[in-house]
Structure 1
């Protein structure tokens, strides 16, 4: 079972949502394997049901499975960890406080486990209070350098920076990217990314020197009628990636 994602030129791997198993296969082909296919834990009534279904997804896409929370829902944190222990996917989405649990239950270091941190309005500062209880308390804001050190302590692989609102917090995002490069930590920009701003968002991370980037492109490329991600849009994203990553 392949536990590591397939990065284009060892630098960029897309992350998009699947609306169905056939859609997952089509996405994987459209991205030529340089993709993590998100399936949301929130869509299942219990862990056992999710595990059975996600194993089927994983079998179709060489295990390029990204176990998702569902709009960053902190209440899904424990379920994501429980699913990931059984499925052993290539990628796990977690709130900041769920990273250590996911890593411990996975029992290996290869699967990418991100930790969700949010913009604060101040470049260089991020909100780490994204867990089930902490998200309801007073905002826990720390320097991005501290957040990265804490995530490394917990066995995290990357920062999931969400919600970005596209380029609405450009200066903050650039500061996060520069810190990720400084500490050789991976970056997952998320929220409001579309075909119009994708180039700029990816270029900022590339220019900063981030070693590995996993951009999440969700609702903007999903067909509203079917709920499926449009494979032609994934092909376009891959083409844009290839043009930037030399």
Structure 2
């Protein structure tokens, strides 16, 4: 089962298929492993890699943009529609299009909204064109309801910069819980702040949580450190009282 106690799994990156295999084993199968569109010259190269990835590692691929880059959003759709992965990362305005293109009905598709510095308000103009226009800032609940209308599974709150936007994150978590949206806190999550970030979501009664932990657990060559994955899973199990 992907989710520990049907509640939490993590999302991490892998340098290559061998690193992904090691992460998969270290996490006990509780990690989605990101493959970023931005890392490939064309969507077809990403599709070829992901076919090999799925054959070796299994059904744990998370197709990502690459640092939330909106210019990659349509590449993500092309890749995901071929691969039918377990998880897809997407910018707010392109979620509905993505859901329509991905055949897999239970595919987890997240919807990227960003902090604003104003608790209770979030930025939804995260698309390839809208991100260059006057910023669209809306109440959290309105953004979440719109995400539901587009058939998003979860809200990706990015970039969090760790606990910099703690008050905003708390409100997002509370509102997600009210309407049954899952939550994916992302950006600046480390071994040091992971517990508090996860705890906020759990205490808010968010249905399912998928924290993204990236560069903080990578070595200088870009490999995700297996021992750190084990530590994160241990913290998660402790919070869930497994």
TM-score (norm 1): 0.96
User: In the alignment, which residue of structure 2 is the partner of 1:188?
Assistant: 184
The answer to whether the 8 Å contact 2:122/2:139 transfers is yes
Per-residue CA distance 1:121-170 (angstroms, 9 max, x = gap): 11111000000011011110111111111111111111000000100010
1:61 Cα deviation after fit = 2.4
Question: 1-side partners of 2:198 and 2:77: how far apart?
Answer: 29
CA–CA separation in structure 1 for the residues paired with 2:3 and 2:116: 30
Query: 1:62: how far off?
Result: 1.9
> 2:71: which partner in 1?
75
1:71 shift after superposition: 0.5
Equivalences for 1:85-234 in 2 at 5 Å? 85-224=81-220, 226-234=221-229
8 Å Cα contact 2:84-2:104 kept in structure 1 = no
Name the residue aligned to 2:234: 239
Q: Distance in 2 between matches of 1:112 and 1:30?
A: 22
SS state at 1:119 partner: coil
Deviation of residue 201 (structure 1)?
0.1
Per-residue CA shift, 1:12-51, capped at 9, x if unaligned?
A: 0100001111000000001000010001111111121110
| Deviation for aligned residue 1:216 | 0.2
| Cα distance, 1:109 vs structure 2 | 2.5
* Residue 54 (structure 1) aligned to one of 50, 55, 65: 50
Aligned residue pairs total: 241
Q: Specify the alignment match of 2:60 in structure 1.
A: 64
Q: Pick the aligned partner of 1:18 from 14, 31, 34.
A: 14
Matches of 1:107 and 1:89 in 2, distance apart? 10
8 A contact 2:92–2:126 mirrored in 1: yes
2:35 paired with 1:39: yes
CA–CA distance in structure 1, aligned partners of residues 52 and 239 of structure 2: 33
TM-score by length of 2: 0.98
What runs of 5+ residues in structure 2 fail to find an aligned partner? none
Report the CA distance between 1:107 and its aligned residue.
2.2
Deviation digits for residues 95-140 of structure 1 (CA, Å, limit 9, x no counterpart): 0011111111112320100011000111111000000011011110
